Each structure stands twice: as C-alpha cells, then as structure tokens.
Amino acid sequence: MTAATAPTALSIDKTQRIRNLFEPAGIAIIGASQAPQKWGFRFMHNLTNGGYKGELYGVNPGLKEVLGRPVFPSISELPDCVELAYIVVPPPAVPKALQQCADRGIKTVIIITAGFGELDDAETRQAQRDITAIGRKEEMVVVGPNCAGVVSPEPMSLAGAMFSWEVPRPGGLSIVSQSGNVGGSILGWSRLHQMGVARVVSSGNEAVTTTEDFLHFYADDDRTKVIFTYIEGVPDGRLLFEALQYASQRKPVVVMKGGRNPAGVRATESHTGSLAAPMNLLRAACRQAGAILVHDLYEAAELCAALMDQPLPAGRRVAIVTQGGGWGVLAADACHDAGLDVVELPEETIAELDTFMPGWWSRGNPIDMVAGMMDPSGPTRAADIALKCPVVDSIIFLGIGFGGMRGPRAEKGTDDPDKQVEDPAKAEERKQMSRYFREREAQVIDRLVEMKTTHGKPIMTASEAVLSAYGAKPNRSIQALEERGIRVTANVVNAAKTLARLAERYEFLQGTARTGTQLA
Amino acid sequence: MTAATAPTALSIDKTQRIRNLFEPAGIAIIGASQAPQKWGFRFMHNLTNGGYKGELYGVNPGLKEVLGRPVFPSISELPDCVELAYIVVPPPAVPKALQQCADRGIKTVIIITAGFGELDDAETRQAQRDITAIGRKEEMVVVGPNCAGVVSPEPMSLAGAMFSWEVPRPGGLSIVSQSGNVGGSILGWSRLHQMGVARVVSSGNEAVTTTEDFLHFYADDDRTKVIFTYIEGVPDGRLLFEALQYASQRKPVVVMKGGRNPAGVRATESHTGSLAAPMNLLRAACRQAGAILVHDLYEAAELCAALMDQPLPAGRRVAIVTQGGGWGVLAADACHDAGLDVVELPEETIAELDTFMPGWWSRGNPIDMVAGMMDPSGPTRAADIALKCPVVDSIIFLGIGFGGMRGPRAEKGTDDPDKQVEDPAKAEERKQMSRYFREREAQVIDRLVEMKTTHGKPIMTASEAVLSAYGAKPNRSIQALEERGIRVTANVVNAAKTLARLAERYEFLQGTARTGTQLA
C-alpha cells in the first residue's frame, strides 16, 4: 500500500502491473480443471470463447490440457509470456500459489477464490493478512480474493469470469466494483443499451490492490472516458477522497455505495467483510471531490451512458418538447424536483414557434405539440428552436420510440403465447401502418442526432418503449437513438435526474458547484 | 354535478350511462371521415380493427359509408341501438351535436375535440360551460372534451382512440386519467408486462363527468380489481376525498398527481386548463382516504400490477434471498429506505438453512446463496424456508431472468448491427449452455409460483434482464414470471417500494396505518 502516492499518479511499475490485467501477453489459470461446474474450467472456457488474443495456459499437476490449451504441473514451469495469473485453488492453497507467482515473476494476479476476510473466522482472516503481506512485499497487483475477475473488450478481447463469456461492446466506461454481481449488472445494462465498456474489475475483498488504485489507473487510462465505482468498505476515508479527487479532475466519476443504512451495513459485513463508511462522510467527500453519488443502479447506468455520449449542459435551464400534455406536466414536475429550471422562453422564441404551431398552442414551456402530431417535422422543428434559444441549456424530447416497437406478433410454429390468427388484409394494413410510423420516426431520429451536434447541448428522451427495446429483434428506434448518442430513459424522472447530474459535472468543472446540489 | 351523492354509490341511471362507455350495443362517430389523418376516420378504423362486437355507424351529411360502415346524414337519423357517441367535429359545432345526441336519446357521449377550457380564451371557455350546462340538464355522461377516448377489452373488445387499436390483455386494472398519454403510457406498460386491463378512460377537461364519478363506478364494477388515477386539476377537494375514500374502502387506488410543484403547475394550466390542488392537501387526503400516492409513472404501473396479482403482506418484515452479495446489500439498503424491516431471522430458520447451505454462508438476512450457485434447488429451498418463517411477511428474490434472455443474435439477411459470423461449434455450445440455463430457470420459476400460493405471501423479484423482456421474442423467464403473478422490477429500489406500498394497503385495511408511512 503506497498511501503517500495517493494524490499523484501511480508508479510506472504499478501502472504496468494493472495494465497487465487488461492486456496480458499470456494468462495462466492456477487450478485449471476439466469439470464444467468448476471455475478452473469456466475461466479456460470463457477466455477461449470470449476471443482472448494472447496465450492461455493452465496449471494442474494432474492434467495435460484443457480445451486444447497446455496445462503445466507447476507455476514455476509456466512460460515467460505469462503476465497474469488467475488463482482458483481452494482457500488454504492460495497464499502459497500467490508466492509462487511472484517467484516466477508474475506480478499481476487475480484471486477468484472466496473464504477469507469476509468470514467471521480467525483462521481465514489470517490467510487474508498473509495475502496482503505477500502482495505488498512483492509489490504485486492482486485483485480479490473473493472476486469475479476482469473484463476488457479491447485490445485483447478479454472477457472474464462470472460475467459470462460475452464480450461487451468496446467503449469508454470503466468499472471498479467491490461486488461482482453489481459490476455484472452494469455490464448487463450496457449490452442492452449500446453502452461501450473499456475495463471492468470486480475487486472483491481488496487485500492488496484497492478501489483507490483503480481510480488512479482509470484517471490516466486513455481508453477510459467515464468511471463507475461500487463501494462497500472504506478502510481509509482520506485515501478514497484523494483518489476520487484525482480521478474527478480528469474524468466524470459515478459512485454507488452499498451499506448506506443499518440494514445495508449489516449486509455488507457478511458480503465483503468490510466496515461501511459513515454515509454522511462519504457524501461530503464525493461532493468536495467532484464525484457524483447515485443510490440506484439503474440511474447510475443511465448517467454513465449520458456522460459518455452527451455534451455537458452549461446550466440547469431545460426546455421540454412533448407530443403529449400529460407527459409534459410530469416532466416539468420531475425537472423541478431534480433541481432543474423549466425556464420561461423569451418572446422571440415563442414568436418563432408561433410561425408554425397551431393558433391554440400553449405558448410556454413545456412546448406541447398536441395538435402537431400529424406533421412529423413539427416536434423536431420545435426542438431545434428550443436548442438554439440562448436561455436553454438542454432539452427533454418526449413522444418517441413507438415507431420502432416490434411487439409480440403472431408467429407460426413458436410457443409464443401471443400468437393469434390474423386476417391477412388486416395484417397487411398493420404492416403498412407500422412502416409509416417507423419511417416517420427514423426521420425524427436523424434530425435529433444532427441537432445534438449542431447545438452542442444535451438531448434526453424518455419512453416506456425502451422496455421493448431488446430481444432478438430490438426496437429499431431506441437502438438507433442509443447507438447515435441520444439517451432514452424509461421515465421522465430519470431523464431529469440525469440532466441535473450532467449539470453538476459542468458546475464542478467550472468551479461553480453549489453546495448541496447533489441529488443523492 | 351531483355533489350530494359522493360518499354513496352512483345513481342507477348514471351507472348505466357510464357502463355504456364500455359495453355499448352501438356506437356512432359524429364527424366520421374518409381522410386517414382525421379522428373521424381513426375511430372508425380503430374500433373496426380492435374487434368491437357491436354496431358501428358514422354521421356526416356528405358520406354514405366509411370502411364499409353506414354513415347517416344526421344524428337524429341514427338507429335506436346507438348507446354511445364519439364527437370529433370542430369546436364550434360540439355543443349543438351534444344537444342533438341528447335529443336522440344518446345519453353517453365522448367529446374528443380539443380547444375548450384549456385555452386562455373567453369564447372557448364559454363553449365548455355550454357543454357542462347541456350535460347536466340532460343528465348525460360526457367524457372530455379534449380527451383520447376509452378502452375496454371485454366484453365488447372496445379498443379506443389514440391508444392505437391494439386491444389490451383483459384483466383487473381500471384507469381514469386526465391525460390521454399518461393513461396510454400505463396501457403501453401493461402490454409489455402481462398486466390485464378492465377499463380505461381519458377524461380530459371533465366538463361534465369527473374523475370522482369514475372512481365511484370502478369501486362497484365487478371487472375492476385495482384503480389507477392520474389527476391534474381538483375543482373540489372534498368531492375528491370522498370518492377516494369510497373507492379505497373497496379496492386499492393508486393516485398520481401531475402539477406537484411550481413548474408542473404551470404546465397543467395550459394542458387541461385546470387549477392544481395544493400538494400537501392532496397528500393528506390520500393518506386519510387510504389511497396510495406515487410520483413516478413506472413505479405506479409496477405497483398496480403487484396489487393485482400478489397477496398483501401482513407487515413490513422482509427476507432477501440473493444469488449475489452486492445485490443483497443494495436490496437491504433499498428496503430500509422504503420503511421495510430487513428482519433478523430466528435461530430455527438459520438452523434449517444450515442443513444445506455451505459452512461459510453468512447466516443472516440477506440470505446470500453465493456458493450455492451451481445447485439450482438451493435458492428456491432458501426462499421456501424464508417464506414459512413466522417473522417474515414477504421476500425479495434476486438472481433470476438471465436464463430467459434472448439477446441480439446473428441473423442472416437482417440489418441487425450485431450480426456476426459465429463458429458453428461455438454456436452449438452456446445454444446448449442457453438451454441448460433456461431449463434450470424454468424449474426455479415453477417453484416460486407454487410457493406464492402455498405461503400466501408476496414474492418480488428484480432483474435488469427485465429490459430484455419484450420484443418479437420475449425473455421467456420474465414473461413466465409475470404471467404467473410474480412481479419483476428492473431494480431493487422499485421492488422494495412496491412491497412497502402493499404493506401500506394491508395496514389501511387493518386500521393500523401509521401516520406518515406513505412513500410519496
């Protein structure tokens, strides 16, 4: 542990050893196995099927090969190219294996095996202290124990462990999570929402290498654009604060804390064996460091995606363009709750809208298109006028996604419970209508994407159609929007919160952050 | 307006006239048209394509038929079977058409046409007062003006207006919404989440028949099991309170209020032309009447579904059964925040879990299955033990839905951006793995459904896989769970809030509601 280095960059050695987690020339699985239910098999399998481009070996005295990959009887016999070892042997054998890795010159190790500091047991806690001692003495990077591995789609196509062998779409989000399944949930969300991923680390008990180390690494990592961290235990509040500050000055950092209240704290104690930090201290640390604290996994994922592909708004003034009055009302309520200003539009903006809106439009914000529904160009024209208005920092655009839906359809020969016999004439008419709405919506999407670039202001959308977005045949509209950098949340509450947090980030960078503006 | 009748049932006449909205022997579209972009065509089209089982006619002096349905030159010539008229003529012609309906004996009318009380204009506001006067004098049921119609899948298969012509799955949810698109959003959610619908009314400006009338009607309607209402304006707080009380004593009522804060209030004024009720009064009214106030459309929909298909928990004590430690921590945090008690499990429950859990399990609540992942029977066995525990009122079950996912796949001849060439051997292996997980999960689902019945306690689940649930090929697991009455929310925060609100309902019915327990 190199506490003194916290506010500055990591050492060159440590940086390289962390990089070896993501770009190792060779990997060894210590405890390779042929039994499909064992981690020693699953890692061999997942790395092979995930398309890992380096060398892959096993270590097991009783085997010669697994899935066609050579297996060596001991760590000392591994080839020189091995830069990363996964340890999956039973708990008592772990410290010795770790030392053998160091002796072989493998200074980057992931310990998947659980049963250490998280148990209420003197012997296993001592074993974890042994791991810490070896790791520090040998200046190793050690992930875990009690972790789920790492994922990094590029450059090695390194899909990890528990997180299945599907390689996520490459992109800018990096994750360090003290929980494997929380990290996995964000990863699962990323696959469903076109969010690209750079590096993912499930850091487990953090016996040696900590959340703080990864925050530092990501802060200076070219592939990382946005950082997400899920934290349960905080052994040293000052170190965490310094790491959050170091990273937040360079990139947006989204923080989720598990164990925020008595029930959650009790749960963390048996999970990662960590003592939870007092929540008020963490909240103050995040605010001062410029990190964005979020309590809901779903909101956190939506925010990470928006931070990656949206420009920051230069303030909290929002215009709502809606194709339904009630949606506009709910959006206005949600914006106000989130600390956004549903700004009064200047007379010249109203006048410009007057040139094509029907005589009875509401002449205010929300800009309610009601009667314009039949003209596809109306809503995007209104959005364009709102975006160019100097008192508007961002817009929420409502009434999209429905043209891209491919709901349950009659399908022959399937077990689809919604299958039904449909009159062929009606089916044809339905298809024509669907095509009409789809093509109309495709035009709206093209315009929104253009406008995001032209005006350099964020555009958020919200649609319950997002729930129909993925499946074998995804909702084309939602997919197109998300691939092209317009975010779609399931409800206006989340759209407003996301915009407010983008504004928080802007205010932090400008040095104009208001005390107490954080939503969480 | 019949203020005196509020706390008691509706009159027989009024009940019958409201029922005619949903079960009319015949419908006339006043202002029928052959132009596809006009409401006068769309209603003819939607009712025809939605499978409406009664007689359908148009009224338009210039036409003989629309879509094969007879069109009459005047309202007075309509056949006797017409029990419901949709008025879609321009604003100035509406009051006269309404009077002609009354004269012809059609006492149930839906006025779709907008441009009345919602405009800041003396003439149109007077026109709305004329509508009110005619409706009261003739003792009519009038929905609107400025509304989107009604939907009722049974017994007439009456799919309505704006809400597309898709007939929702029949079921127990009835809606009265002052916003057509908010009602439509709930309806859209219902299609994606296997939530059955009884009656939907978009009540618009409520010139004659009000939210209160529909609350009374639904309270005594056999088809209605749960009521959702979206309210913007409250002209008479006492009437609303009495209606909420009357209905809540009979059925759960979920209330959403648009215009909760200054930004939202400004938006409602131009939407339905209503003056928003002070939020603190509405909150107090809901609490005292036993109605459940929710601020988020998505939470409201999830709650309605849970109220329909889950038993009520006899208290706030929850057990969490999780296949991931971090998920368990977040669920515990969320439960505490929602006012639930993550209860300490009694020694005998721990002992029973000890019989099959690995030696190092956490021996607490959350019940973390980590090491049991490989054994599919473990999580459901733990759930069964938790459900039978006398201090547990409900459970949250985490780690489900992934076996049913059918993510983007390589598809020949499609424009799917995820298409890729896959090694046939790997594809076969992937299919086998998918089948294995799917079949395993199907067993878990069967057991959960059984247990819900056996123990009579609610089971909530949460999974980001819910986002992949719908599409041409839905997630089989999520669909199976929701069809069989186990609710899946996208995150644990919503699962906890839903359970807390089910407990609120239980406490209200028991007369043990604690002051201030409402989440919203």
Instruction: Decide: A222 and A214 in contact? Cβ < 8 Å.
Output: no
- The better pLDDT of the pair A131, B423 is held by A131
Q: Which residues contact A280 (CB under 8 A, 6 or more apart)?
A: none
User: Contact B429/A49, CB-based, under 8 Å?
Assistant: yes
- A412 exposure class (CB count in 10 Å sphere: 0-12, 13-18, 19+): exposed
* Residue B120 structure tokens: 């800041």
All residues of chain A having their beta carbon less than 8 Å from the beta carbon of residue B181 are 323-327, 399
Nearest CB to B263 within list A115, A332, A429: A332
Residue B15, strand partner residues:
none
Of the partner residues B267, B298, B329, the one whose CB lies closest to the CB of residue A329: B267
Segments in B390-423 forming alpha helices (H): none
Angle at B284 (CA atoms; ends B207, B1), nearest 5 degrees: 20
Closest CA relative to residue A324, chosen from B184, B345, B261:
B184
Looking at residue A465, what DSSP letter applies?
A: G
Per-residue pLDDT tens listing for chain B (520 residues)? 344 444 568 999 999 999 999 999 999 999 999 988 788 998 998 898 888 999 999 999 999 999 999 999 999 999 999 999 999 999 999 999 999 999 999 999 999 998 888 887 888 899 999 999 999 999 999 999 999 899 999 888 887 655 566 778 899 999 999 998 899 888 888 877 788 999 999 999 999 999 999 999 999 999 999 999 999 988 888 999 999 999 999 999 999 999 999 899 888 887 766 665 688 889 999 999 999 999 988 899 999 999 998 999 999 999 999 988 899 999 999 999 999 999 999 999 999 999 988 877 889 999 998 754 456 788 999 999 999 999 999 999 998 877 766 544 433 333 344 444 556 766 777 677 778 777 888 888 899 999 988 999 999 988 766 655 444 455 677 777 777 778 777 788 888 999 999 999 999 999 877 655 577 7
Q: What is the pLDDT of residues A13-67, one digit of tens each?
A: 999 999 999 999 999 999 999 988 788 998 998 898 888 999 999 999 999 999 9
* Interchain proximity B296–A324, CB inside 8 Å: no
Cβ–Cβ gap B330/A364 under 8 Å: no
DSSP character at residue B152: B
- CB < 8 Å to A473, chain B: 416, 471-473
- For residue A371, the model assigns a pLDDT of 55
A105: helix, coil or strand?
Answer: coil
> What ipTM is given for this predicted complex?
0.86
**The token pair that represents B132 in the structure block:** 């009110």
A-interface mutation test, from B187, B333, B416, B476, most A Cβ less than 10 A away: B333
Predicted confidence at residue A239, as pLDDT, reads 94
- How crowded is residue B107: how many other Cβ atoms within 10 Å of its Cβ? 21
Return all residues near A330 (Cβ < 8 A) that are at least 6 apart: A492, B182, B258, B264, B297
Strands A55-59, A26-30: pairing is parallel
Reduced DSSP (H G I as helix, E B as strand, rest coil) percent helix, strand, coil of chain A, to 5: 45, 15, 40
Virtual CA dihedral for B152, B157, B162, B165, nearest 10 degrees? 150
| Beta-carbon contacts of residue A266 (< 8 Å; ≥ 6 apart) | B332, B342, B364
CA distances from A257 to A220, A268, A451 (A): 23, 10, 36
Q: Which residue of B has its CA nearest to A114?
A: B371
Q: Which residues of B touch A491 (CB under 8 A)?
A: 296-298
Looking at beta carbons, which pairs linking B410-413 to residues 24 or more positions away fall under 8 Å? Answer: B411/A472
The pLDDT value recorded for residue A469 is 43
pTM, to two decimals: 0.89
Q: How distant is the alpha carbon of residue B209 from its chain centre?
A: 21
